[in-house]
Structure 1
Amino acid sequence: MIKLPPRYDEPLPAAFFPSSAPLPFSRADFGPDFHWGASAAAYQTEGAWQHQGKGPSIWDDFTRRKGVVRRNEHGRVAADFYNRYETDLDLAAKMGLTDFRFSAAWARVLPEGIGAVNRRGLDFYDRLVDACLERDLRPWLTLYHWDLPSALQARGGWTNRNIVGWFSEYAQLMARRLGDRVAHWCVLNEPMVFVGAGHLLGIHAPGRRHLGAFLAAAHHATLAQAEGGRALRALLPESAEIGTTFSCSYTVPYRPGNAYDEAATRRADALLNRFFVEPTLGLGYPVAELPALRWLLDRYQKPGDEQRLKFDFDFWGIQNYTREVVKFSPWLPLQWATLVPAMQRGVPFTDMGWEVYPESIYHMLKQYAAYPNAPKLIITESGSAFPDDVVAGRVPDAARRAYLQAAIGQVLRARREGVDVGGYFAWSLTDNFEWAEGYGPRFGLIHVDYETQERILKDSGRWYKKFLGGSAVENKAAVALQPGTVQSH
């Protein structure tokens, strides 16, 4: 039995519209230069896992283990984007999107991670970029979205300091091939997730559970983040914009005013929201809040690293889905804190178990914009997973539609308060393989039947199209979202 929110029909649930949201609003309120897009990732969508010389990745290896992914699912076919990218880009263009963010599969272009180039794999990204431009979609290329080549994992992967050089070589290859047409680059996707979930919690590839492995991988990823940026900047035109993306969650104490929970919240914020950001600004790691990081500094940081961690990014990609409510815990020595699940707090939550709290995106924009010398911010991922049903050829996903409206409203709220935020990318363009959750949670604006690969533009995608066409958002909510609803799905 999985706890899920109720299904929704019109009118829209009031809980999606915080009282502080700026209603009504329209696309025109964001100005003519705002980027409107949707995002995708290679392993989650491409499939074609052994096609035309592609090498295996750590997710190909991880999904072979029994019990690590729900229903033992995998991404070998996924949404078959490799063969159907033109269809999906046609739908993106018809929606009125101006931008499309995707990632390259490192092992598709470098099967061993280094060395010999797979020209057929590189040719695919050539065709994909050209297809975007033919449809007036600006391509945003993410170099690394969690699918490390297996050959590099065999050498230690992110725990091997040599990965900084391996990654830089890969970045240079992509810049030389695509830099004449791709003007927007993201170096890493959510390093805290692929380092933490993959090396500390063991729930993502490569499936390790070791504090030392986590700290080593975290430091090397932070170095690669900066060195990858420098590798791109050395080869790309001056007009190119180079960024990286951060996962983040607005953190609040479980018991406001309780000294233990307040301190735990500061530590959780340092780990979840500040760990990979502050070194790029020359502020170092947040050691004051997380003393365990001194082990990282003593064991893994070498002379000169503090300067190497710095890089002047043109933008930060902010990827936010929820807030976290934090409680003191004596059993977790890294942060002495635990996150209290939404389902235990009697609040609405999504298929991922995440609290429905669109206002979190506003708070995180404000938090990152408050850093001195912070670059422009882009919402590179924002979305929600709710149950979908196909009804007479349509997908009436009112909850996802409402979440999308509310999240965009919170972006406008921050923008009106002076935050330099220049774009919004919905996660995701299509339904896809959702890592350890398999194909259960659906985030897409486009529904995918994984057996037939049929595509259907959901009502949320239809709404996005209308909004991008100029329609205003009004608060039509009349029914409150009921917390704690239980149903099977």
Structure 2
Amino acid sequence: MPFPKNFTWGAAAAAYQIEGAAAEDGRGPSVWDVFSHQPGKVFEGHNGDVACDHYHRWREDVGLMKQLGLQAYRMSVAWPRIQPLGTGKPNAKGLAFYDKLIDGLLEAGVTPWVTLFHWDLPQALQERGGFVNRDIVEWFGDYAEIVAAKLGDRVKHWMTFNEPPVIMGLGYHEGLFAPGLKLSFGECLKGAHHLLMAHGRGVQALRAGCAGKVKISIAHTGRERIPATDAKRDIEAARADYFSSTERGMWNLAWWMDPIMTGKYPADGLKAFEKDLPAITASDMKLISQKVDFLAYNCYSGWQVRADAKGKPEKLPGGWGIGNARGTLPWLNIAPMAPYWAARFQTERYGLPLVFSENGLCNTDFVHLDGAVHDPQRIDFMARYLGGIKKAIDDGVPVDGYFYWSILDNFEWMEGYKDRFGLVHVDYQTQKRTPKDSFAWYRDVIRTNGAGLGAI
């Protein structure tokens, strides 16, 4: 059986990871420009100065999307390309690039889904405190207004932020991603609160500035909890662990989602973090809980959870056991039931349909002697994960779309260009694009609306 006829088949990428042209046409530096040029921060000193040169080669890339039969493309807009200093008058050349790109996508029959912020904060704003400065709420709102005014007549699907746990967790708490800070837990909670308020301000700006009806979300991520068995006690243990907000870090999914969906922070987190909480007002929560239209979720991996003797959640040793299949990055355990449980648990809790805004496999892809890029592991990965999604749909879980990460091999943050996620291989020396075997496989999946895929 095929997927539902209104299911959206897409692929994704992000501005800093593919665009390049880091200092062209008025673009200002982002935190990732600064971070990646610091010795030892990124694998072999890689950076996004050129990346996939998408800024100059976007027509070729849109042509590949059309060849793939892609229905939708999730892209991000680079804030420092629009406002080089993060505030003030917009950069006309930066806006013109996205204006042309949106038109090109629509001409190719590809629907743009636009993310306003995918980690590339203008460096000038970071020097003013970044997310720890409450002013970012209005900075982001002003930026959203500019983008909505320029693109909102054609773009109908939006996401405000990509992966808040990574922004605050890896960027501000653990220091592994830009801007590379190791702030106190309390400062990070304050930054997280400002980020959520900025999300709400962005929603307001998009609704006010876009023409006609739009659909808006925020793209979250986490580590899925997968019940060790189908026993009710294990399912409930996994659910409880998935939405627990007591770990002293930025990865508690409900800490981010509950305020948006319910207007309240989770009670267990408020109790656990009581001494570290920032000032939180009723007006803050009203702003944060602006209506969103769907759940967007980036799903890659997960671990198994069972109920212990007292019914409490217990992670299986190692999450999966020795030798489980994985991608080339250590965090990517292959867990085909991760999307099933992510969608089921979240839609039950929050009552909205879910779109998988990212899902993909990193591999050691290269051009073979025959001139092709053979990536059977990726094809198998996609078939398994889409099988998990199909099972969710068959069980009545509202899943409306899937975006493979990513359309092109690209700059994988602190890992540089080492790990490849793309459906299209990029030779970073020549910028030659070579569609992989997975490209042809996914093209057939889209063409048949997943008719050959079975639930797992």
TM-score (norm 1): 0.84
Cα pair 2:226 2:338 within 8 Å, conserved: no
Identity %: 38
Q: Tell me by how many angstroms 1:248 deviates.
A: 2.5
1:394 aligns with 2:405: no
1:181 aligns with 2:133: no
Cα pair 1:287 1:294 within 8 Å, conserved: no
Query: Per-residue CA shift, 1:243-296, capped at 9, x if unaligned?
Result: 111112212699x99xx9998776479743212111012252224156343245
Cα pair 1:249 1:364 within 8 Å, conserved: no
Task: Give the equivalent residue in structure 2 for 1:146.
Answer: 119
What are the equivalent positions in structure 2 for 1:42-441 lying under 5 Å apart?
A: 42-210=15-183, 211-251=185-225, 267=244, 271-289=251-269, 291-297=271-277, 299-324=278-303, 345-353=322-330, 354-372=332-350, 374-391=351-368, 392-441=370-419
Gap change, CA 1:221 and 1:107, over 3 Å in 2: same
Gap change, CA 1:266 and 1:163, over 3 Å in 2: closer
* Greater length-normalized contact order (CA 8 Å, ≥ 6 residues apart): 1
Q: How far apart in 2 are the matches of 1:340 and 1:432?
A: 33
Query: Per-residue CA shift, 1:442-479, capped at 9, x if unaligned?
Result: 1100100111111011111110011222274368x9xx
Gap change, CA 1:309 and 1:452, over 3 Å in 2: same
What are the equivalent positions in structure 2 for 1:7-26 lying under 5 Å apart?
A: 25=1
* SS at 2:299 equivalent: strand
Q: Tell me by how many angstroms 1:307 deviates.
A: 1.8
Cα pair 1:101 1:139 within 8 Å, conserved: yes
Q: Tell me by how many angstroms 1:212 deviates.
A: 2.7
Q: Tell me by how many angstroms 1:347 deviates.
A: 1.4
Q: Tell me by how many angstroms 1:300 deviates.
A: 3.4
Query: Per-residue CA shift, 1:279-337, capped at 9, x if unaligned?
Result: 0122522241563432454x33234212222121011211100003589xxxxxxxxx9
What CA RMSD, in Å, does the superposition of the two structures yield over aligned residues?
2.7
Q: How far apart in 1 are the matches of 2:296 and 2:238?
A: 29
Q: How far apart in 1 are the matches of 2:213 and 2:23?
A: 36
Task: Give the equivalent residue in structure 2 for 1:473.
Answer: 452
* SS at 2:205 equivalent: helix
* SS at 1:321 equivalent: coil
Aligned residue type for 2:258 = E
Q: How far apart in 1 are the matches of 2:325 and 2:319?
A: 7
Unpaired segments of 5 or more residues in structure 2? 307-313
Aligned residue type for 1:180 = D
* SS at 2:188 equivalent: helix
Aligned residue type for 1:57 = S
Aligned residue type for 1:300 = A
* SS at 2:420 equivalent: coil
1:449 aligns with 2:449: no
Unpaired segments of 5 or more residues in structure 1? 1-24, 328-336, 478-489
Q: How far apart in 1 are the matches of 2:359 and 2:208?
A: 31
TM-score (norm 2): 0.89
* SS at 1:112 equivalent: coil
Q: Tell me by how many angstroms 1:221 deviates.
A: 0.7
Aligned residue type for 2:82 = V
Aligned residue type for 2:334 = V
* SS at 2:414 equivalent: helix
Q: How many correspondences in the alignment?
A: 437
Cα pair 1:63 1:74 within 8 Å, conserved: yes
